[in-house]
Amino acid sequence: MLVNTFKISTKRLVPIGLGEEQFLDRAKPTSAVNGQLQIMTFAKLPEDAPARPAAAPPPATKKPAKRH
């Protein structure tokens, strides 16, 4: 996705397998919660690069009031 969608060079990506070192749920090693992906940025953008505004958060959805 990072390469195809955002055109990030594969030369800038380094996969690191943590295996059994950093489970969120050690009791269930095959649990989906343990299938983590972390993206870390190591390079700085040039100072003259235009700043991109942050994406607006999605509108809040209100749940209907519960009736007893």
pLDDT at 5: 92
List the one residue out of 45, 37, 48, 46 whose CA is nearest residue 15. Answer: 37
Predicted confidence (pLDDT) at residue 43 exceeds the cutoff of 60: yes
Q: Write down the pLDDT at residue 53.
A: 58
* The dihedral formed by the CA atoms of 15, 16, 19 and 20, expressed in degrees to the nearest 10: -140
The answer to whether residue 2 is domain-embedded is no
Determine the structural domain holding residue 34 and report its residue range: 17-43
Higher confidence at residue 3 or residue 61?
Answer: 3
Establish if 39 belongs to a structural domain. yes
Out of 1-10, 18-27, 29-38, 53-62, pick the least confident: 53-62
Q: Which two tokens stand for residue 52?
A: 């991109």
Residue 30 lies in a domain: yes
Distant-in-sequence, close-in-space partners of 33: CB < 8 Å, separation ≥ 6: 24, 25
Strands, E assignment, the chain: none
Per the CB < 8 A criterion, the answer to whether 20 and 29 are in contact is yes
- What total number of domains does the chain contain? 1
